[in-house]
Amino acid sequence: MNATHAANTKQTLEWKKPLNKPQPGSFFLYKVQSQYTSSVKTMSSMLAMHIELCCFLALSTLVGLFFLSLFFVPSKKNQVYPKSYPLIGCSLEFIRNRARIIQWTSEIFDKLSSSTYTLELPLGRHVVCTKDPSNVKHILKTRFNNYHKEKKVIEAFSDLFGKALFLSDGSEWKSQRQFFRHDFDPKEFHAYTVVVEEELSGRLVPFLSNAEKTASTVDLQDTLRRFTFDSVCQIGFGFDPKYLLPSLLPTPFADTYRTAAKLSILRYTTLPLIWKAKKFFNMKSEKRLAHMVDELHNFLGNIIAKKKERLLEREDLADKDVLAKILRRAKGEQLDDTFLIHTAVNFIMGGHDAMCPALTWFFGLVSSNPNVEKVIVREIREKDGRLSDMVYMHASIYESLRLFPPFPADSKEAVEDDVWPDGTKVKKGTSILYHIFAMGRSPELWGSDWAEFRPERWLERRSGISDEWNSSRGILSCIQCFMQGQGLV
């Protein structure tokens, strides 16, 4: 990574060097080059100005049409929260709650006293939101093939994640899921506890012990982010980024991934017309995203190439990471490097981006509930650190995931017309949002004490609840892997 970065920096510096003083015979060529460079800069400036002008005109037109519509378009009677306007829909409410979209869309369920509602979007578009368990089961299981990733999501994240599991749908998703079934089996994952234990005993525990001795303040979320990133990379493709070191210095690979992820999210929250124009002209955030993605993919490509060499020379028998197992299982079959690179990036996202918030909220909730902490500590001692026997620990993890799921909501798009179990009619092309965060805070599902962190609720036999939370088992298995042993607990 450092060598690649140094080479790129050298090329950049060489490109920015002033042209050598021209020899008498090359004066004309030098003058043409100077004029060409000046013309390119002028054109770039003009294009940027035109794009900004177009965006301004488009925005001005929408604002003008909005105010005109207030006078000429009759408002809906019995309007309920959130307030919707002609042409722009609920955009004003979106802007007002942009820093708390998940909480806001969850609160709407309570304000409307309904488990399903429709949000009006600009230009006549709308999204149907639901927290009804029967609807969620219908979307994710009964009619799974009828609900695909939104085109907007695929376009925004495809440069970084490609067509691996995160952005695949239907038969393609099932095919990939079947291919990786053995590697992501919970029993197989428990074999990676050695990696986690080494990261625990060698880095995390000494880091926290030193902070205790020196009475230092620790950013738990940042610490766990570094811990999970190191662990996931070692488990996924056998690379140790050394992100969690006492110095907490920046790590090129980790920082490149984080920057690429943030820029991809920024792209998703920007109007497609704007970010696509920026990408076409290689401007600002899109230019930086392309550079970050190239660096990340090139680095992972080098790791994959070396692993293939080790496989041919039969030096990889000691490699226990997921990527090494995939290559060995292929038995000489030529796997596409691009697909393997995207798989590695998806593995980081699925492991690190899920585990870090899950662990952070778990320890935050346990530390703020002393009674729960006492029961967990007592169970650890009684079971001698055997996590598989810790019933109360499992209940505590489930309870933490109920209140703060790592992925609080997910959107999809209907392929064909459909009718949900609660009677909601969904037209072809309609955007839908199943709200996991709201499900975990539903009084209908969890009772009036839903806001309390009470692991005991999972030890009580309650029909109609556990089946709706089967999707949490994958995350639970990963958390168990990360929490194996007494060290982290």
- What distance in Å separates the CA atoms of residue 211 and residue 222, rounded to the nearest whole number? 14
Q: State whether the Cα torsion 321-327-331-332 is positive or negative.
A: negative
Strands 126-130 and 431-435: parallel
Measure the CA–CA gap between 466 and 280, rounded to whole angstroms. Answer: 48
CA distance 459 to 282: 55
pLDDT at 10: 41
- The pLDDT value recorded for residue 153 is 92
- Per run of 10 residues, the mean pLDDT along the chain (length 489 residues) is 44 40 44 46 54 62 55 48 80 86 93 92 87 93 92 93 86 80 70 83 91 91 93 92 86 94 92 91 93 96 89 73 84 79 92 90 94 94 82 92 92 95 94 94 91 92 50 46 41
| C-alpha torsion angle, residues 272, 274, 280, 281 (rounded to 10) | -170
User: What Rg, from alpha-carbon coordinates, does the chain have?
Assistant: 26
**What is the model's pLDDT at position 49?**
58
Give residue 20's pLDDT.
44
Residues 128 and 419: beta-carbon distance below 8 Å: no
Distance, CA of 74 to CA of 438 (rounded, Å): 33
Q: Which two tokens stand for residue 36?
A: 């060409």
- Helices of type H across 369-417: 370-382, 391-403
At 65 the pLDDT is 55
Q: CB count, 10 Å around CB of 117?
A: 20
Cα 9 from Cα 5, distance rounded (Å): 6
Domain 91-482 grouped into CATH 1.10.630.10: yes
Strands laid side by side in the 116-120 sheet:
116-120, 126-130, 431-435, 409-414, 147-148
**Residues 6 or more apart in contact with residue 341 via CB below 8 angstroms:** 162, 297, 300, 301, 304
Query: Which pLDDT does position 328 carry in this prediction?
Result: 82
Do the beta carbons of residue 340 and residue 304 sit within 8 Å?
Answer: yes
Residue ranges of the domains in the chain? 31-73, 91-482
Length of the chain: 489
